[in-house]
Amino acid sequence: MSGIAGHARVVIIGGGVVGVSALYHLAKAGWTDCVLLEKNELTAGSTWHAAGNVPTFSSSWSIMNMQRYSAELYRGLAEAVDYPMNYHVTGSIRLGHSKERLREFQRVAGMGRYQGMDLDILSPDEIKSRYPFTETHDLTGALYDPYDGDIDPAQLTQALAKGARDLGAKIYRFCPATGVRRENDEWVISTEKGEIRCEYVVNAAGYYAREVGKMFGRDMPMMVMSHQYMLFDEVPEVAAWSRENGKKLPLMRDVDSSYYLRQEKNGFNLGPYERKCRAHWATMDDPMPADFSFQLFPDDLERLEWYINDAVERVPLLGTAGLTKTINGPIPYTPDGNPLIGPMPGVPNAFEACVFTFGICQGGGAGKVLAEWVMEGETEWDMWSCDPRRFTGFCDQDYAVAKGMEVYGHEYAMHFPHHAWPAGRNKKLSPVHDRVASLGGQFGAYNGWERANWYARPGDDTSEEATQTWAREGEWFEAVRRECLAVRDAAGILDLPGFSRFRVEGAGARDWLLSMTTGLVPKPGRIGLGYFADEKGRIVTEMSIMALGEDFFFLITAATAQWHDFEWLTKHLPAGSEIKIQDVTEAFSCQILTGPKSRDILSTVTDADLSKPWLTHQSAQIAGNWCQLVRVSFAGELGWEIHTKVEDTVAVFDAVMQAGEPHGLKPFGMFALNSLRLEKGYRAWKGDLSTDYTVLQGGLERFVKFEKPDFIGKQALLAERQRGVSKRFVTLVIEAGDCDAPYMSTLWHDGKVVGETTSGGWGHRIGKSIALGMLRADLTEPGTELEVEIFGDRFAATVQPDQPLWDSSNERLRA
Ligand SMILES: Cc1cc2nc3c(=O)[nH]c(=O)nc-3n(C[C@H](O)[C@H](O)[C@H](O)COP(=O)(O)OP(=O)(O)OC[C@H]3O[C@@H](n4cnc5c(N)ncnc54)[C@H](O)[C@@H]3O)c2cc1C
């Protein structure tokens, strides 16, 4: 072998900022026997031409964590690895044009402060004092981020590379990975210079990740956009200001107009995310070149004209500067704009750290997260926002292009809780989709499945704009109230296609499930919730376990959890086991029928025994079709889930709808279901239930059976029980204003932050604003008075008893 190592613990494919950061973090953690392969020179991909902005801003808690970590790392990196570099921490001003935007800023500022960052809201006058050259007459305010700035991306990558090499890791440049194969439980990576065997492999190939993914048989959920920034000549006024103040102007983002404007030397750098944007390498007549190292696309300024004019109106000095250079480079996008960091779906010991849209500001944190995935199989922070398994098989190329363009064109858009983005829709339709639509269903996509979020009446405003609000306002809100009250007073039906469903069968299945979950496994004929913990006792997932026989189960879980949960199960199956696990999601449909009249309705269409108690299930017939009637209700009323074969859905739905008419049966949507479950304190996956919390912190001790034989997480949970939890799940009722508490709103007591919300919303049956959250354990006594910060204002809140707010003794459920 000419010069390259024959064996390594980890091989990273791709030497941009992300791959090199991953190598650095592995080496720093003691995994120095790691190799990085770069097909060209380090930074030859997107990293080379990036603008190098390093914001901490994000409305996602985990992405903010990653970016905050990056900024902290970069501040000390030059010294830590002895590699000087240009990193200007200039602070940034993010301009707001509306009340809604300021609310977004207030929320992010609250999250940022909780992460220890001093983010601040500026008035128009304060903007002017920090950035004298800007027009502020039409602004409502701004977010000030003192940690933002710009870094030289190539120097950053070289610094990380030096750090990694100094620790013993190896980097081979001009050494593309050309193929991979699995041999004797190892990966063999081919290169033109020979083969390397390794335990783990990482795809960090940036916009080439699709090509590298193909080597593993993986179709990557990604596409490539062209993004341009323009460099402008020196402006004497900027030079004078910088000289006088001894610093650069803060980085400015006009997010409502959609661009960043940065001081570059003594001129400007303007980078728009334009609505009329351009995808590359997405069609047959525009194939991706085999090698695009250190190359750019031709300038395309026409697309940017509106943005240039807008920026000149905002900072008139820009109009005095000459344009000197345009950089038009490729940026990869996933369908939601977040990168892929974590296990490569379905492929053993392979990981992804690629498709970064903001890889410079996320690279540091991404290296930490990736290294944890490889070394420990789990991460310190819950990183579902970046987990490759959040995109399942339906994410084909058309979908990736449509969503990537939508995300790029709305890069700085606000993500309102009741707004459904329109691109890439109708990928998976329920057999009764047309019926749901004709009833007024307004849809949202859940793992590609279209489900009604709410039902509009003729004449209701169903425009996108009508849902672009943080407040409880608009016809959707009234509709949700009507739907919840119909469920309370009569009955509701919710068509729920795409519930993930796994068939688990074979000798030993029961004992195995006992070892996988913290609690009991139901007896045949019964259904129960199973909590799956990791070795630290943290909540990996929750599934409904339906026992069909002693060793025969259906596990039912959230639509988006499909690949994640399937992998958790299969990964833990002992070698040589007789247990078979099969994903049968596509074969079944589900209708939720719930409300006090649901028994009367069902009794007219089935001869099943409807007196069977809560948490039982039975096979039955509706309209001559087989179905499984499951006596549970996430809405917290008397009710059944009606599981059918997909092909029978229409007949069963029609029969139930017809039977329900005289009883006042109404369709209800996902928004109503969310409101109803909050009133019952039922947790939602990856909000209330995440690896950020242990099962005991999650208030789920009644699902933990310490007396049973060993199960994953038992030792950690025993130890935690012994020392007591530091924080614990609570339900709060809030004297809120016009908005309910979003995820990660801070809880205050005695002037200190003492916890956070994990979800919030309006409970229509109780007529109150509710939040579920995590609170310092000594404050969880019912009746404790707190405050919840919602979009910058604090509202009184009271800790509730540890029982549902609605039907506290579950009498309606058991009726
Ligand atoms: C104009 C522009 C401005 C930008 N500005 C910013 C910004 O201000 N802030 C920010 O955070 N982000 C910015 N970005 C995005 C940023 O550049 C990327 O997110 C980041 O560089 C991605 O880094 P990476 O390491 O994932 O990928 P890359 O830098 O693309 O690295 C991937 C590497 O993999 C190598 N490779 C590919 N295939 C193989 C193979 N088979 N074998 C070996 N090696 C292989 C490639 O040669 C390449 O070096 C900007 C992008 C553009 C286009």
* Residue written as token pair 């996988």: 516
50 CB near ligand 1 (under 6 Å): yes
> Do residues 94 and 143 lie in contact, with contact meaning Cβ atoms separated by under 8 Å?
yes
Q: CA 274, CA 303: separation in Å to the nearest integer?
A: 7
Q: Pick the residue whose CA is nearest to atom 38 on ligand 1.
A: 205
> Do residues 279 and 223 lie in contact, with contact meaning Cβ atoms separated by under 8 Å?
yes
Which among 20, 360, 361 is the best mutation to test ligand 1's pocket, defined by most ligand atoms within 8 Å of the CB?
360
pLDDT at 116 over 80: yes
- How many C-beta neighbours within 10 Å does residue 808 have? 13
Cα of 270 from ligand 1 centre, angstroms:
20
Helices (H), 281-424: 305-314, 359-376, 397-409
What is the pLDDT at residue 5?
Answer: 66
Query: 451 forms bridges with which residues in the sheet?
Result: 444
Note the pLDDT tens digit of each residue in 387-404: 999 999 999 999 999 999
pLDDT at 583 over 50: yes
Cα of 787 from ligand 1 centre, angstroms:
43
292 CB near ligand 1 (under 6 Å): no
- Most distant CA pair in the chain: distance in Å? 86
Q: Pick the residue whose CA is nearest to atom 42 on ligand 1.
A: 176
| Secondary structure of residue 746 in the 3-state scheme | strand
* Residue written as token pair 């269903």: 441
| Secondary structure of residue 141 in the 3-state scheme | strand
Give the C-alpha distances (Å, rounded to integers) separating 168 from 27, 36, 75, 367, 572.
7, 12, 23, 17, 33
Q: CA 205, CA 219: separation in Å to the nearest integer?
A: 14
Q: Pick the residue whose CA is nearest to atom 35 on ligand 1.
A: 14
Q: Which atom of ligand 1 is nearest to the CA of 293?
A: 47
pLDDT at 1 over 70: no
Cα of 48 from ligand 1 centre, angstroms:
7
Note the pLDDT tens digit of each residue in 211-247: 999 999 999 999 999 999 999 999 999 999 999 999 9
Query: Token pair for residue 328?
Result: 């038009």
Give the H or E element holding residue 151: strand 150-151
> Do residues 489 and 594 lie in contact, with contact meaning Cβ atoms separated by under 8 Å?
no
What are the phi and psi torsion angles at 16 (to 5°)? -90, -170
Note the pLDDT tens digit of each residue in 622-662: 999 999 999 999 999 999 999 999 999 999 999 999 999 99
46 CB near ligand 1 (under 6 Å): yes
Cα of 202 from ligand 1 centre, angstroms:
15
- Of the pLDDT bands very low, low, confident and very high (cuts 50, 70, 90), residue 4 is confident
Q: Which atom of ligand 1 is nearest to the CA of 45?
A: 30
Torsion (CA) 62, 68, 69, 74 in degrees, nearest 10: 150
Mean residue pLDDT across the chain: 97
Give the C-alpha distances (Å, rounded to integers) separating 693 from 55, 176, 571, 726, 742.
27, 41, 22, 11, 18
Q: CA 656, CA 673: separation in Å to the nearest integer?
A: 19
Which among 47, 66, 338 is the best mutation to test ligand 1's pocket, defined by most ligand atoms within 8 Å of the CB?
47
What is the pLDDT at residue 688?
Answer: 96
225 CB near ligand 1 (under 6 Å): no
- Mean pLDDT, to the nearest integer, of 552-580? 96
pTM exceeds 0.95, yes or no:
yes
Nearest alpha carbon to residue 491 among 387, 635, 612: 635
Query: Token pair for residue 658?
Result: 């017809």
Note the pLDDT tens digit of each residue in 461-507: 999 999 999 999 999 999 999 999 999 999 999 999 999 999 999 99
Query: Token pair for residue 402?
Result: 């449509």
Q: Which atom of ligand 1 is nearest to the CA of 332?
A: 19
39 CB near ligand 1 (under 6 Å): yes
Cα of 153 from ligand 1 centre, angstroms:
10
What are the phi and psi torsion angles at 226 (to 5°)? -100, 135
